[in-house]
Each structure stands twice: as structure tokens, then as C-alpha cells.
Structure 1
Amino acid sequence: RPYLAAYRAAMTLTTAVAILAVDFSAFPRRLAKTDSTRGVGLMDVGSGSFVLANALASRVARGLTTSSPTLRSTRWWSLIFLACARGLATHAMDYQQPVGEYGRHWNFFATLAVVDLCATATPPPPAFSSFAGLAILVAHQTSLLRGASPSGAGAAGVASSYGEYLLRDVPRGEGLLEQNKEGVGSIPGYVALYFLGAGLGRFVERSLCDAAKRASIRCWAWRWLLSLAVADAAFWAAAMTLHARCQAVSRRTANAAYCAWMLAFNLQVLLAFIAAGLLFPATPPVPKLLAAVNRRLLPTFLVANLLTGAVNGAMDTIHVGTLTAWASMVGYLSVVCVVGLA
């Protein structure tokens, strides 16, 4: 779908811009990831949006059976390779990586690998993906609120709940799980988000298939867009209610409020691309750059991560002037786009 390809590519390029731009003092701090354990910032949408972008274009979203074991294995090992490459590159370049974000050894590519494994190893029937996602999210949120923390976790004693344990900034134990508690602990939330996104994608796909049977597709498309807008409003209402009444948004734990926020935010962006296609039907469906990046999401994102580390190794980004920051960003993004087009 043209609007989906444009959305996925634009999301990837926007994320690529943000991960380097935030290292410059010229970047507004209010747009960076929240420094606290809970709260919202524009850059907090990156990880959840990437998971949703994969889910919306998944085979489950298209109502297809799972892919072949060979294809699943290839994709999973590719993600493992990217996770290891990212970790080694970060260590080699001595690039700053807040331990409280994913853990000492974990990174987002590792999260993607585990989410992909969970989503493809035992996938629910396509018609029930939303229910599976909702069930996992309810269980995850319940464990965050009421689950017992590991005994003796941290020097300050036992946390009052599993969610508090994941967010506490205290000395870590020697075990791998405790060293990477944020990354591991957020996996159920991201798996739930993936299945919910696949369910949303399936709803959109089925609606488009039904549209092909209608005589007045354009008139129907605007009504369909309105129904998606109503669904998006419901997601926003759910996100704000969960944030206020249940537990504040936390990207680090991928809690229910965060997942609802991601669904609302990304559906809103998707609606903008759909509306643009309806308003300007004569324009090319997907620009060449966006179409190319859509086919190479992970490689493009990995190159952006590596270049970010290289730029930080070459200069003291936080202390350079605005002009140097802009020039660096133009050069950096040009290379990322060339890689996407290659």
C-alpha cells in the first residue's frame, strides 16, 4: 500500500534524524527522550513506532499464514546480527549509551529480534491477533503493578512491584537478566504492541479489499478515513485515561499507556498519509526515496546508528555551534539517504 510504504519510510528517516540531532545543543531538549522513568517526549515514539511499522506490514496483518521456517530463521538471525553489530560498534566508538534505557548489553535491535521470534514462533490466527495482543498487554500491565520484584534486587532492597524494580536506578546484580532488566522487562509490552498493530493492519487491509467491490471507491474512502479517525480518537482517549488512572506512560517498561499512545500517534500519522493520497490523487504514489527506504528499513536504520556513533567520535557534538550542527546533519542525512537508495 502506498500510504503504508510512505509512512514506514518517513518514520525511519525521521528517527534517523532525531538520533543524531539530539546530541547537538541546537536540538530542543523538549523533543528528546524523557529523562525520567515515566513521561512523554517526541523521541520516545521511536521504538514503539518501529515495532508498529513492522506489524502493520506483517503477513498476519495481510491475513496470511506465517512465513516459511527458512525465511523466519533468516530474518531472526539478521536481527541478532544487527543487535550484536550495534553493541560492538557502540563499545568500539565509546558512544554514550544510558544504561537505564535498555540495560548494560541490550539494545533496540535485540528487542526487535525477540519480538520477531515471539511473533512468528507461535503466531495467533490472524483474526485473533488483536485479542492476543490485548491479553498480553493486560497481563503485562498487571505484572508491572502487582508483580513481585526479584528478591534482593538492588542495594536499596526489594521494590514494591515489578514495574518499580524495572525503573529503579540502583546498583545492578551480576546476572545478565538484572544487568539488562529494562530491555528484557519491556519485551511483553512490545510483543503486545506488535499483535495489536497486526490486528489494526488486518482491519485496514480487509477494509481495502471490501472497497474494491464498491462502485464509488473514492466516496467510500472518505467514509473509511472518518472511521479510522474515530478509532484514533478512541486510542487517544485510552492513552490519556491509562496515563492518568492506571500508570503514567513509560517507554522503558512499554506499559499499557505507552502502547495505547503508540497506537494513537502512529494511526494519526497514517491518517495524514491516507488523506494526502485522497486529496492529491494525481501525484506519484510513493516518492522514489521513500519507496527505497521502505524496502531497507533495518539496514538504513543500522547505518544511521553507526554514523551517529562516528559523528560523535569525530567531534564533541554537544559543544559545537548551530551552523556546524546543521552542516553535520545535512551530510549525515545525505549519506543515510544514499544508503537507502543503494
Structure 2
Amino acid sequence: MSHKERKTQFVSDLVGGTTLDIYLVTSISAVSYLVWCILKKRTSLFNNSNNDRTKESWIATLVDNALNWNNLLLSTTIYANNIPLLVVLNIMPLIPILLLSGNTGGSTKNKDNSTKSKVRKAIVNLKTISVKQFLPFKTYITVYRAQMMVITCVCIMAVDFQVFPRRFAKVETWGTSLMDLGVGSFVFSMGLISARSYLRQLLESRFSYKNTVIKSIQNSTPIFVLGLIRLISVKSVDYHEHVTEYGKHWNFFFTLGCLPVLNAIFSPLILKISPIVSSFLISIIYELFLVKGELLNYIITSPRNDLFSANREGILSLFGYFPIFLNGLALGSSILPVVSIPYSIFKVGIKREDLVKAYENRKGKVGISALKVMFILSVFFQVLYYIIDTCYIFQVSRRMANLLYVVWVSAYNCTFLFLYGLIEEKIVWEKPDIKVITESSVEGIEIETNIDELISDKFVPTSLTAVNTNSLVLFLLSNLLTGLINLTFNTIDADVIQSMGILFLYEFILAAISLLLYKYGLVIR
């Protein structure tokens, strides 16, 4: 075989691994965040005299990147079969710190600048709260999205090396793998963040269908452009392709570009019957067409004799990725607001006057906390996945994005978001104390919303803040570097030392560029 044929075969006909293995490998992301939080709380390593996160010491930067970049690379390569050892290596240095340091950590000189163990407090006046205050920065969401981007960048390069286990690469048709989970998680995250638009418009009672559709098209246009650039570049250099992944011309950028537009087009229906109900309706109908309507056989066996059939995987899988997007939207509508809103799992957003009335009528006991929502949805999707996987004849299929794939991706993302939230609010830091006010003033004194203590980014590693700030740029750069390395180096014949050397260099370039952009305040959307 030619070198191109060997590379194509290298990522073809794969069957994946177990879901438990995937959970174990990716658990290092939560461990990394836990270790960083403990170091932040118990030492002065990540605190400097100016409290300027762009001027951390070089030791702090190295430790930060070792935890949030190197750990994820090691867990998916040379430690893939020995994750417990990697966890122990991360935890062991904490033992003397936990035994010898206090809660605030650090020397007397730096003690005032360290992150103190105190309850974060906030006052929320529902009658005067601004949209920006209603949808504040959420630490664990930033950590979740940034670490997902890091592991995505790592995998798209590492998959071309022997050191990356084949069970993590995308499966041919049936099965579960880390990279199959990654693309679905990307979609789930996009849906989660898209809830901000609905929540913002509905709070101010100014939802506009026309503006929503137009804005979604405008926002998706750059993503479609990136898809076209990737298509042209791949075809022009005769780069190896796995056709059954999305088709001959389709790529993941096109999928990402279509989803916000579909969300906007069907927004009246989604708002009326709720995202999670819409998700299950679409998934079940699509599954019936797959199984009863011979769509499954068409996807697997049909010849590629026209534009649609040539790209059938990418086009038809939208009926699976869209429900994943909607499940993310359902979770986002529950955990993005600064306060709980009633029936948030089944309802997107609420008018300001209705929210005020709900808190007045129920004396502040409205809805359930974000952490409880994540726990409930985690248990629901995990149990549902177990039942369907046990009783149903068909397995998970990322190629078709079938019902079981939708449930699996949703279960994983809800579970890991819950873990991040648990680390922040229960294990390391204190749960925020939020006082909700529904009067404009008390005894003639105006009550202003004050959530400053909730929105500080000091609880997020600098490396992850940098990644999250320019995530799309980082994703594009990782694709370009992957193509460049594959065109200039024989990746599939590289030994372990060569492979890890290139992967560490690749990782270093991405981390350094993201940090430089963050340091100079450059945000490229």
C-alpha cells in the first residue's frame, strides 16, 4: 500500500473500547482540576503580589500546564493502560501540602493575596438585575469547556501515532471510543452555551424569531467558511481521508455550522415544548426511520453516486447531533442563570416579572440548584443508557448518531459537569451564599445586585482561561498543525520517544500561543 493508503487504513475498521475505559481515561481531567484547586487554596504558588494572572511565575505556569495539558496527553498515550498510577502521581505531592499547610496557604508575605477559604456572597435584586448579572461567569463551565478543547486538540494529533491506542480512535460503524465521544461533547457544549441567547431575550421579554434566525446565520458563517477551507485544503494536498466518517465532502465544521441555524429555525417549537422533550422526539423518530425505514441500510451500504449519498453520514447524522445540542441547551438553561428558575429542566428562560412573582409566592424557594440539576440529569441519562444498551439490539453509532449515541454523550457530559461543580462547591471551595431580593428598595435604600465575589476567574487555571478565550482559534490551529506534521513526518512508523517528542512540542506550541493571546488581551472570534 502507498503511504496515504496505510494512513487511511490506520484509522479504518476500528471497533472502539468500553465506556468504563473512556470514563477512567478522561477522569484525569477532573483530577487535574482538583489538584490545581488544592494548590491554589493551600499554597501561594498561583498568587502573585499584583494578583495579575498574566504575570504568574514561570514555575506556576509550568505546573499549570503540566496539570491541564500534559496530564491529558499522558492519559491518552503512554499512561492509557495505567490511569491509576497517573492519578497517584498527581495526588502524592499534595499529601505534605495538606498535612503542613493551612486553608489559606502561602507565606505570611503572600497570605493576603492567596485565595482564602471563605463563603462567596452575593445579593441579587430580581427587579433591577441586568442581563449580564443574570448570566454571570461560571467557573466549572469554563473548566469543563477548556479541558474538553485541550483533549480534543491532543486527540486529533495523537490519533496518527501508534502510541495512541486504537480503541480511542473513531469507530467504523458500531461501538464507543474517546474520539467519538469528543465530537458529541463539542456539540453538547455548543448547545449549553447557546442557552444564553434564549435566557437573555426572555428575561427582557424581547424574543424575536427573525433576529434569532439572522443572528444564527451570521454566527455560523465563519464556521462554514472554516469548513470550506478545510475541504479545499484536504482535497488540494491529497490528504488521507476516512470517507465513512462524514462523507466525501462533509466535515465536522459543517455540522457545527448547521446546528445553531436549526436551533434558531425551530426555536418557537423548542420554546413551546422544551428542549429535552424536543430532543427525545427527534431522536425517537430518527431511530424509527433508521430501523424501520431502512435508513440504516442506506447509510451503510448505499453507493456514493450523487452529492447527497456521497455525504449521507454528515447530513443524516444532524438528526442525532441536533438532539445532543438540545440536551445541552436544556442543561444550560438550568445552570447558567445566577439564581434557580422554576421548571428549568423543561423550560427555557423566564420573564423578569414571572421570576419575581415566583420568588415572592414561594418565599425564595424556587426551582433546584445547578448542582442538583446536573446530578438529576446525570443519573437520568446514565440509567437510561444502561437500560437501552442492555435491552436494545443496536449499539452506539457515532456514524449515524443514533438514539443510544445521543443518550451516551448526554450522560457523559452531565456527569462530568457535575463532577466539576462538586469540586468547586463542595470539595474545595464553599458553595456561594446568594440572597435574592424582590423589592426595589428596603426602607428607602436602593438595593443593587452585587455578584462580584461569584464571577472572579481566580478559581480557573490560567492555562484554561487562555484556552477558553480563543477556543475556535486554537481548534483551527490544531487542525493546521496536524495537517502540517502529517505531511512532513511519517507518524505511523514513529517509535514511542519520537511520538511523544512531537506530541509534547505540538502541545507546547498550542499552549504557548493561547497564553500569549491571553497575556496581550487578544480575543479572536
| TM bucket normalised to smaller | 0.7 to 0.9
SS at match of 1:125: helix
- 2: distance between equivalents of 1:291 and 1:25? 31
- 1: distance between equivalents of 2:510 and 2:218? 24
Cα deviation, 1:303-335, whole Å, max 9, x if unaligned, reads: 111111111111010001111111111111122
Cα deviation, 1:243-288, whole Å, max 9, x if unaligned, reads: 3333310001111100000011111111221122122228932222
- 1:176 aligned residue: 307
- 2: distance between equivalents of 1:62 and 1:274? 23
Name structure 1 gaps, 5 residues minimum. Answer: 148-160
- 1:319 aligned residue: 493
Deviation at residue 188 of structure 1 after TM alignment: 1.0
Find 1:225's aligned residue among 371, 379, 382. Answer: 371
- 1:152 aligned residue: none
Question: Rg bigger for which structure?
Answer: 2
Deviation at residue 206 of structure 1 after TM alignment: 5.4
In the alignment, residue 205 of structure 1 is paired with which amino acid? L
- 1:29 aligned residue: 166
Q: Is the contact made by 1:292 and 1:340 (CA closer than 8 Å) also made in structure 2?
A: yes
In the alignment, residue 59 of structure 1 is paired with which amino acid? A
- 2: distance between equivalents of 1:143 and 1:239? 20
Does residue 114 of the first structure (1) align with residue 258 of the second (2)?
A: yes
Cα deviation, 1:108-141, whole Å, max 9, x if unaligned, reads: 0011111121112331217712222221111111
Equivalent positions of 1:175-324 (< 5 A) are 175-205=306-336, 208-209=339-340, 225=371, 228-246=374-392, 247-278=394-425, 279-281=427-429, 284-324=458-498
- 1: distance between equivalents of 2:481 and 2:272? 38
- 2:156 aligned residue: 19
Q: Is the contact made by 1:25 and 1:319 (CA closer than 8 Å) also made in structure 2?
A: yes
In the alignment, residue 245 of structure 1 is paired with which amino acid? C
- 1: distance between equivalents of 2:469 and 2:249? 28
SS at match of 2:175: coil
In the alignment, residue 172 of structure 1 is paired with which amino acid? R
Does the C-alpha gap of structure 1 residues 226 and 128 become closer, same or farther in structure 2, counting only changes over 3 Å? closer
Deviation at residue 53 of structure 1 after TM alignment: 0.6
Name structure 2 gaps, 5 residues minimum. Answer: 1-137, 202-206, 343-358, 431-456, 518-525
Does residue 77 of the first structure (1) align with residue 221 of the second (2)?
A: yes
SS at match of 2:459: coil
Deviating more after overlay: 257-266 vs 72-81:
72-81
- 1: distance between equivalents of 2:285 and 2:273? 20
- 1:139 aligned residue: 285
Does residue 129 of the first structure (1) align with residue 275 of the second (2)?
A: yes
- 1:166 aligned residue: 299
In the alignment, residue 104 of structure 1 is paired with which amino acid? K
Does the C-alpha gap of structure 1 residues 7 and 245 become closer, same or farther in structure 2, counting only changes over 3 Å? same
- 2: distance between equivalents of 1:75 and 1:227? 29
SS at match of 1:63: helix
Equivalent positions of 1:95-106 (< 5 A) are 95-106=239-250
Deviation at residue 59 of structure 1 after TM alignment: 3.2
- 1: distance between equivalents of 2:470 and 2:238? 27
Does the C-alpha gap of structure 1 residues 164 and 182 become closer, same or farther in structure 2, counting only changes over 3 Å? same
Find 1:43's aligned residue among 168, 179, 193. Answer: 179
CA RMSD, aligned part only? 2.7
Does the C-alpha gap of structure 1 residues 95 and 276 become closer, same or farther in structure 2, counting only changes over 3 Å? farther
In the alignment, residue 395 of structure 2 is paired with which amino acid? A
- 2: distance between equivalents of 1:289 and 1:127? 39
SS at match of 2:299: helix
How many pairs were matched up? 321
SS at match of 1:254: coil
Deviation at residue 102 of structure 1 after TM alignment: 0.3
Does the C-alpha gap of structure 1 residues 321 and 132 become closer, same or farther in structure 2, counting only changes over 3 Å? same
Deviation at residue 233 of structure 1 after TM alignment: 2.2
Cα deviation, 1:182-211, whole Å, max 9, x if unaligned, reads: 101101111111112101221223584369
Deviation at residue 292 of structure 1 after TM alignment: 2.6
- 2:19 aligned residue: none
SS at match of 1:59: helix
Deviating more after overlay: 247-256 vs 292-301:
292-301
Q: Given the two structures, how large is their TM-score scaled by the length of structure 2?
A: 0.57
Q: Given the two structures, how large is their TM-score scaled by the length of structure 1?
A: 0.85
In the alignment, residue 423 of structure 2 is paired with which amino acid? A
- 2: distance between equivalents of 1:335 and 1:90? 22
Does the C-alpha gap of structure 1 residues 241 and 186 become closer, same or farther in structure 2, counting only changes over 3 Å? same
Q: Is the contact made by 2:334 and 2:340 (CA closer than 8 Å) also made in structure 1?
A: no
Deviation at residue 57 of structure 1 after TM alignment: 1.0
- 2: distance between equivalents of 1:329 and 1:208? 42
Give identity over the alignment, percent. 29
- 1: distance between equivalents of 2:407 and 2:240? 30
Q: Which has the higher helix share?
A: 1
In the alignment, residue 254 of structure 2 is paired with which amino acid? A
Q: Is the contact made by 1:55 and 1:61 (CA closer than 8 Å) also made in structure 2?
A: no
